[in-house]
Homo-oligomer: A and B are copies of this chain.
Amino acid sequence: MAKRGMLIVLSGPSGVGKGTVRKEIFSQPGNNFDYSISMTTRKMRPGEVNGRDYYFVTKEEFEKEIASDGMLEYAQYVDNYYGTPLKYVNEMLDDGKDVFLEIEVKGAMQVRDKVPDGLFIFLTPPDLMELRQRIVHRGTDDLETIDKRMKKAVGEIEMMQNYDYAVVNDEVPKAAEKIKTIIRAERWRVKRFLPDYKKQLGDALK
C-alpha cells in the first residue's frame, strides 16, 4: 500500500484572494499535488465547465450527499450549497497523492475536525500585518477607523490560531512561492513520515 497523501488546506478571510493565489500555484509546473474540485448547487456560468470549475449538481443531489456523510465540508451561501465531496479526496489520498483544497474558513474548521493531520495554511490580508505600524504612527487614521480595523484584526487573529502557517497575500507570486515552500518543508516533518516509516519497517520484518 502506498503512503497516504497529505491534505493541504488553503483558507483565509473572504476577499483575501485565495482563488487567485491557488490559480498562481497551479499555473506553475512541478507541483506534486492535485486540486480538489468543489461541488455546488449554483448555476453554471458562461465559460465554466462541469468537473473542471465545479461539480454542478441539484439541491436534492447535494442534500443526499450531506445526509449520507459524503461531504468533507460544506456551507450554504445565498441559497446555494458549496462543498468538498469526500469520495474524490479520499481516493486521491489513498493513492498517495497530496490533495490541495482552497476553501472558506468555516469549511476549513470542519476539515480540521475530520483530518487533524492535514496541513492548514491561512492567507492573511497585508493590512493585518501593517496594522501595528498604523497604530504606532497614529494621526494618519482617525480613532473610528483604527477601532474598526482592530476589531477586524482580532477576528482574523482568532481564526489564524487554528492554522499551522499564515502567509501574507501582499503580492500573489510571493504568496504562492511561500505556500509552495511550506508544502515542501512539511514533507520532512518527523511526525508526518516517521509513523509510516516505522510501520513499513515493521511490515518488512514480518
Point out the residues of chain B lying under 8 angstroms from A151, CB to CB: none
List which A152-170 residues lie within 8 A (CB) of chain B: 153, 157, 160-161, 163-167
Scan residues 121-176 of chain A and give those whose CB is less than 8 A from a CB of chain B.
122, 131-132, 135-136, 150, 153, 157, 160-161, 163-167
Interface string of A50-61 (1 = CB under 8 A from B): 000000000000
A119 CB to nearest B CB, Å: 11
- With A160-B194, A161-B194, A194-B161 known to touch, is A153 a contact of B186 (CB < 8 Å)? no
A204 cross-chain contacts in B, Cβ below 8 A: 132, 135-136
Partner among B184, B190, B193 whose Cβ is within 8 Å of the Cβ of A185: B184
Interface magnitude class on chain A: 20 to 34
Q: Classify the secondary structure of A's interface with B.
A: helix
Cross-chain contact of A184 among B161, B181, B186 (Cβ < 8 A): B181
A188 adjacent to chain B (CB < 8 Å): yes
A131 / chain B contacts, CB cutoff of 8 Å:
201
Residues on A facing B (Cβ under 8 Å): 122, 131-132, 135-136, 150, 153, 157, 160-161, 163-167, 178, 181-182, 184-186, 188-190, 193-194, 197-198, 200-201, 204-205
